[in-house]
Amino acid sequence: MDREESAAAALPSAPVAEFDAYALLEPGETIEEAPVWLGRDKRVPLVAPDGLTITLSRKARADMQVKVVYQSPIPAPIAEGQEVARLVVSAPDTESVEVPLVAGATVERALPAPEVAVDLVTSEGTGQ
């Protein structure tokens, strides 16, 4: 059973005219940018690899909530396409739908600060 079928199965029985299909995500759409910890880049785009269309009653759509959940900041290194977050869609009287979000770019770990070279100056003692 795919995501759309499971969402449809969770719907309460009501007249069909009370429901609409809502396209929430396009494949490859950037949802937001998340902060990165110890990365060469300070932010990484969070991308929906697949689209998402859900069917809801008009009343449930009015009260729908969408949130992005991830560890913040996301620790580097991060590979493009790596799952780093989830999009959670919830509405009254329906089961929540979770969609993986992936990194839209590779973020390498930042190089450590270069060590400061210290030249020790030695002086020869006199009298020896």
Give residue 116's pLDDT band: very low, low, confident or very high (50, 70, 90). Answer: very low
28 pLDDT higher than 70: yes
How many Å apart are CA 39 and CA 35, to the nearest integer?
A: 9
Task: Give the residue-averaged pLDDT of 49-60.
Answer: 92
For domain 3-103, give its CATH number from 3.40.1500.10, 2.60.410.10, 3.30.160.20, 1.10.287.130: 2.60.410.10
Task: Give the residue-averaged pLDDT of 80-103.
Answer: 95
pLDDT for 93 equals: 87
| Nearest CA among 44, 51, 53 for reference residue 100 | 51
Mean pLDDT score across all residues of the chain: 84
Report yes or no: 90 and 65 within 8 Å, Cβ to Cβ: yes
pLDDT for 122 equals: 52
The residue extents of the domains of the chain are: 3-103
How many Å apart are CA 104 and CA 45, to the nearest integer?
A: 5
pLDDT for 117 equals: 46
80 pLDDT higher than 60: yes
pLDDT for 15 equals: 60
More confident call, 13 vs 72: 72
What is the three-class DSSP state of 97? Answer: strand
Amino acid at 26: E
Whose tokens are 């009287």? That residue is 93
Q: Say whether pTM exceeds 0.85.
A: no
How many Å apart are CA 128 and CA 69, to the nearest integer?
A: 71
